[in-house]
């Protein structure tokens, strides 16, 4: 059975991946894009989207756990 804290983390990772994919596609491919197709990341919309997803998940992993620890500890009534 999935615990509530694991469910919350999964939702945060999904949100981070969705935001990262939008940033990867809109910023890296549309705005920065490479017209000569020589750039490995910005020349292809699929690679820029995957790159954005990876960065979104990594940034979520950096930002969310510090905030989630306090949420979990407040629910249990003690600090971690």
Residue 15 structure tokens: 């949100």
Q: What was the pLDDT predicted at 75?
A: 62
Q: Are 47 and 41 in contact (CB under 8 A)?
A: yes
Instruction: Identify whether 79 is part of a domain.
Output: no
Instruction: Identify whether 72 is part of a domain.
Output: no
Instruction: Identify whether 4 is part of a domain.
Output: no
Mean pLDDT score of the chain, rounded to an integer?
A: 79
Express each pLDDT in 48-58 by its tens digit: 899 999 999 99
Distance in angstroms (rounded) separating the CA atoms of residues 56 and 79: 28
Whole-prediction pTM value? 0.72
Express each pLDDT in 33-46 by its tens digit: 777 777 877 778 88
Of the candidates 63, 62, 56, the one whose C-alpha atom is nearest the C-alpha of residue 22 is 56
Instruction: Identify whether 38 is part of a domain.
Output: yes
Instruction: Identify whether 24 is part of a domain.
Output: yes
């Amino acid at each position: 059975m999935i615990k509530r804290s694991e469910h919350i983390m999964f939702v945060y990772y999904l949100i981070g991946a969705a935001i990262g994919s939008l940033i990867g596609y809109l910023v890296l491919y549309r705005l920065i894009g490479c017209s000569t197709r020589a750039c490995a990341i910005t020349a292809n919309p699929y690679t820029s989207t995957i790159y954005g997803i990876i960065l979104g998940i990594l940034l979520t992993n950096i930002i969310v756990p510090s905030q989630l620890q306090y949420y979990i500890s407040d629910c249990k009534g003690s600090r971690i």
